[in-house]
Structure 1
Amino acid sequence: MSRLALPGQARGFASSFAVVPAAQLSAAAAALAATEIEQLRRPDLPAQSVAVDAQHAAFEASGYFTLGGEQPDMWAPISGLYACGQAVGAPGWVRIHANFDHHRDGALALLGLPTGPDTERAAVEQALQHWRADDLETQAVAKGLPIAAARSTAQWQALGHEQVLALQELVAITRIGDAPPLAWPSLGDGQRPLAGLRVLDLSRIIAGPVAGRTLAAHGADVMLVNGPHLPNIEAIADTSRGKRSAQVDLRMAGGKKVLRDLAAQSHVFLQAYRPGALAAKGFAAQDVAQMRPGVVVAELSAYGWQGPWAGRRGFDSLVQTATGIQEDEARARGQNKPRPLPVQVLDYSAGFLLACGIQAALLRQAREGGSWQVRVTLAGVARWLRSLGPVAVQAQEWDQPRPDITPYLETVDSGFGRMRAVRHCAVLARTAPGWERAAMPPGTDAPHW
């Protein structure tokens, strides 16, 4: 008999892509991996079954939460989709991601507009009438700015990067060094499967933090590590649930030593910075494996480490735009303007899948020894989402209201205020996932285990 159940149907999340099954499957994969780790640690216990409800998975992937009864605005005023005067293909659109001030100011400067928060969206719309979408994207990439031109699927595939992704595994797990199996602390009765396993989480935007939060839900001791000078997005309040929250300044020699000491005592080193960024500071995967032989180094990026788009800055919404997903979604509804998916499923599925891969690598380390690297890309998840096949949507389903979210919420006091947020969607037969630590602002905890 299967240990996995994927019950229910989700209302209010209509899409021509299998967004809800993708969220269900990826969350279930992470949960099943946790039960496999429990089997290794406690062979005297029966293997747990796992269930992931479709509506619950959809709500978790929506990223819904409130603070003090208010739902934070997740997008900066000039972030979003714009029509260009000329473009890659008619009618021509670009998406600007400006949630960080330096990205906003970079985009405004590129458009010849005053930088700062006072420039309004209308000014951006007017400036873009003098640009081709592909020219803007090219110049933005040269400046390291997260801006993407909207493409059709055929246009995306013609660029050649999709062919590189096709040669890579959705979750790539590679042995990167020799080491004996690491001893894990004993797992007591009633403890969650990952209890006692230490995870350093050096990620700030949604997918990486979701991976760390998922591991925390299954009992891991997760420490979120931020830089004191780095900006964060509003979602940090939600994705910090279950984690310690520390700050380490890698611009300083002392900060690098602190991170090396933390890595030397960790089972997992998770990071989602742009490829090469941490390596330049001495924390490439091989460097971390030398600090902690037997470590699992998990890495997430937008487009990956090989191919013509390798190393580009990108976020879920930009990957949807660039790879043709949003154009296909619009056409399915009979529209011309690119249409985003109803949830940021690339982020959430990538986070869940990365959590699954981390646990698979932990199992290999425990059985075979070695140091391991796990890699996931948003573009690879986009390719996987497309491989799940199209979904036929009836006209009346596009605007179907969502059901009451209340049954899926938990209410807790946090360092950000009174929070209501979606519980983790995976249900295990014996050890219910959950977060014992409340979300706290960066720097609340000391950077030591």
Structure 2
Amino acid sequence: MMTAMTTAMTPELALQHIWTVAGCDPAALSSVSLTGADPGLPSVYRVGTLASATVAATGLAAAEYHRLRTARRQQVSVQMRRALASFRSERYLRINDGPPPALRDPVTGFYETRDGRWIQLHTNFAHHLQGVLKVLGCDRDRAAVAAAIRGWDGATLDQTLADAGLCAALIRTPDEWAALDQANAVAGLPLFEIERLGDAPVEPQRGAVGRPLSGVRVLDLSRIIAGPVAGRALAHHGADVLLINGPHLPNIAPLVIDNGRGKRSALVDLRDAAGCATLRGLVGEADVFLQTYRPGALAARGFGPDELARMRPGIVYVSVSAYGHEGPWAQRRGFDSLVQSASGIAFTERQAAGGDEPRHLPCQALDHATGYLAAFGAMVALTRRATEGGSWHVRVSLAQIGRWLQSFGLLPDGWQAADVALDDVRDCITTVESEFGRVSAVQPAEQLQETPAFYALPPTRLGAHDARWV
């Protein structure tokens, strides 16, 4: 039997928590207006509270960074329905009034194991799919995959796939998750971290006063949702965001479109010396370095946080990971839905709704919240650089966000809330012409009174621009 907490989390309390963890000026909170209440989507979790608070934190951080130059505070407002629309941006994306390319591979999903457990496969990248099929010894057919998985015990398959560097998660109860060493490692971390990496001179803001992040240069080395959402949020507050992809790395077409708005895009191959030299040149003139590689992966190529602080004193280095940077799962590959499955969220949603299969949240809430908090952390660090100097490291993970969401308390009947269709959020959508065609996508949800958030550039194909600053 599920019970809600005596004092349930509200958007206002959640925003206050974010602001307090970051050590920001509490007086700024009086400039924020939040409207709406959960359930905004069919879920027993307070997803709307998470969306409103993280979006509002990002908007308020932008407003405060802008205040450094103008000495003026401005009102920031967030409607929960708009924040939830932004948390479902990939779902509402349309190209020429029709659906975008497929988001998921048909093999991705839940499967029952021999011992009556459930496991989730994540096979949206071709090499992950082929790896899973090789372990299972079956063809690329959902029925064949289901039959093969029925020959495995759940925990054994979960570990086997993880050891092979593949993407899967055993469906655990919250108590089963809490008993794992990884859950204890995550529990020992704050919601996010903004740490000083080293000394550097105070850097006054540059660029035009018009937009909060005018003059801020961001290198975005991320793919899929969480990191790209962070880069997109910095772009819609005026940053010059240059997306850097490896020419060999897989991507998912609709996410390239949705999360590429406001950015330029270049290809740099870090497997060779010339590519590393190009990136070092870009870092020398960057303000923010945003990356979602597994912990330690970029450090092995000379682009870890300490190396960049020496290379470019004053850099703000932002690290986004799946399961956190500590614990035995720190190197495990993961995505939003897998973290939901591993940590008990998918079990709890199923238990509430009484369904036969596990059930995910009605949006990629961990991804989007992580992205907004990564952007928030970057702006807080930029503010500190402008006032006290230093190089900074921001760290946040999907698992930390999931743990925080689970602490909000449950809405036992929340899963019965009505779903929100595209027609219900037409007022949240804007359309732009692009090389992909006419792209209709969700606008930024935070509304700033003096400096409205918007995308100055349409989405573009990967590698459309040179790897240089304009």
TM-score range, shorter chain: over 0.9
The equivalent position to 1:28 in structure 2, one of 56, 74, 97, is 56
- The code of the aligned residue for 1:62 comes to R
Paired position in structure 2 for 1:248: 268
| Partner Cα separation in structure 2 for residue 299 and residue 8 of structure 1 | 31
Paired position in structure 2 for 1:135: 156
Give the TM-score, by structure 2 length: 0.90
| Partner Cα separation in structure 1 for residue 314 and residue 131 of structure 2 | 41
1:406, distance to aligned residue in structure 2 (A): 1.1
Which aligned pairs between 1:402-417 and structure 2 lie closer than 5 A? 404-417=424-437
1:8, distance to aligned residue in structure 2 (A): 2.9
The residue matched to 1:360 in structure 2 has which SS? Answer: helix
| Partner Cα separation in structure 2 for residue 284 and residue 177 of structure 1 | 14
| Partner Cα separation in structure 2 for residue 93 and residue 393 of structure 1 | 24
| Partner Cα separation in structure 2 for residue 281 and residue 34 of structure 1 | 32
Paired position in structure 1 for 2:97: 69
Paired position in structure 2 for 1:305: 325
Instruction: Determine which structure has the larger helix proportion and give its number.
Output: 2
The equivalent position to 2:226 in structure 1, one of 207, 210, 216, is 207
1:298, distance to aligned residue in structure 2 (A): 0.1
Paired position in structure 2 for 1:160: 181
- The code of the aligned residue for 2:137 comes to G
Paired position in structure 1 for 2:344: 324
1:378, distance to aligned residue in structure 2 (A): 0.2
Q: Does 1:19 align with 2:44?
A: no
Which aligned pairs between 1:274-293 and structure 2 lie closer than 5 A? 274-293=294-313
Q: Does 1:195 align with 2:214?
A: yes
Paired position in structure 1 for 2:77: 51
C-alpha change, 1:396 and 1:382, in structure 2 (3 Å) is closer
Q: Please say if residues 11 and 402 of structure 1, whose CA atoms lie closer than 8 Å, have aligned partners that are also in contact.
A: no
Give the TM-score, by structure 1 length: 0.94
1:69, distance to aligned residue in structure 2 (A): 2.2
Q: Deviations over 1:254-303 (max 9, x none)?
A: 11011000011000000001112111111111111111101000000001
| Partner Cα separation in structure 2 for residue 366 and residue 350 of structure 1 | 24
The residue matched to 1:443 in structure 2 has which SS? Answer: coil
1:394, distance to aligned residue in structure 2 (A): 5.7
- The code of the aligned residue for 1:108 comes to L
1:436, distance to aligned residue in structure 2 (A): 0.5
Paired position in structure 2 for 1:431: 451
Q: Does 1:218 align with 2:237?
A: yes
Paired position in structure 2 for 1:315: 335
C-alpha change, 1:395 and 1:288, in structure 2 (3 Å) is closer
The equivalent position to 1:103 in structure 2, one of 115, 124, 128, is 128
| Partner Cα separation in structure 1 for residue 39 and residue 402 of structure 2 | 22
Q: Deviations over 1:125-178 (max 9, x none)?
A: 111110111111101111110111100000001112222212211110111111
1:21, distance to aligned residue in structure 2 (A): 1.1
Q: Deviations over 1:206-257 (max 9, x none)?
A: 0000000001011111010001111111211100000011111111111101
The residue matched to 1:376 in structure 2 has which SS? Answer: strand
| Partner Cα separation in structure 2 for residue 7 and residue 75 of structure 1 | 33
The residue matched to 2:374 in structure 1 has which SS? Answer: helix
- The code of the aligned residue for 1:94 comes to I
1:319, distance to aligned residue in structure 2 (A): 0.2
C-alpha change, 1:113 and 1:62, in structure 2 (3 Å) is same
1:61, distance to aligned residue in structure 2 (A): 0.6
C-alpha change, 1:401 and 1:431, in structure 2 (3 Å) is closer
| Identity between Structure 1 and Structure 2 (%) | 45
Which moves more between the two structures, 193-202 or 306-315? 306-315
| Partner Cα separation in structure 2 for residue 446 and residue 70 of structure 1 | 31
Which aligned pairs between 1:388-407 and structure 2 lie closer than 5 A? 388-393=408-413, 396-397=416-417, 404-407=424-427
The residue matched to 2:392 in structure 1 has which SS? Answer: strand
The residue matched to 2:94 in structure 1 has which SS? Answer: strand
| Partner Cα separation in structure 2 for residue 10 and residue 70 of structure 1 | 30
Which aligned pairs between 1:316-355 and structure 2 lie closer than 5 A? 316-355=336-375
- The code of the aligned residue for 2:73 comes to A
The residue matched to 2:150 in structure 1 has which SS? Answer: helix
| Partner Cα separation in structure 2 for residue 186 and residue 440 of structure 1 | 24
- The code of the aligned residue for 2:328 comes to P
| Partner Cα separation in structure 2 for residue 361 and residue 335 of structure 1 | 44
| Partner Cα separation in structure 2 for residue 194 and residue 12 of structure 1 | 31
1:397, distance to aligned residue in structure 2 (A): 2.4
- The code of the aligned residue for 1:213 comes to R
- The code of the aligned residue for 1:337 comes to E
| Partner Cα separation in structure 2 for residue 278 and residue 375 of structure 1 | 15
Root mean square deviation of aligned Cα: 1.6
- The code of the aligned residue for 1:38 comes to H
Q: Please say if residues 41 and 186 of structure 1, whose CA atoms lie closer than 8 Å, have aligned partners that are also in contact.
A: no
Aligned length: 437
Q: Please say if residues 40 and 80 of structure 2, whose CA atoms lie closer than 8 Å, have aligned partners that are also in contact.
A: no
- The code of the aligned residue for 1:101 comes to A
4+ aligned runs moved over 4 Å, structure 1: 9-12, 398-403
Which aligned pairs between 1:112-131 and structure 2 lie closer than 5 A? 112-114=137-139, 119-131=140-152
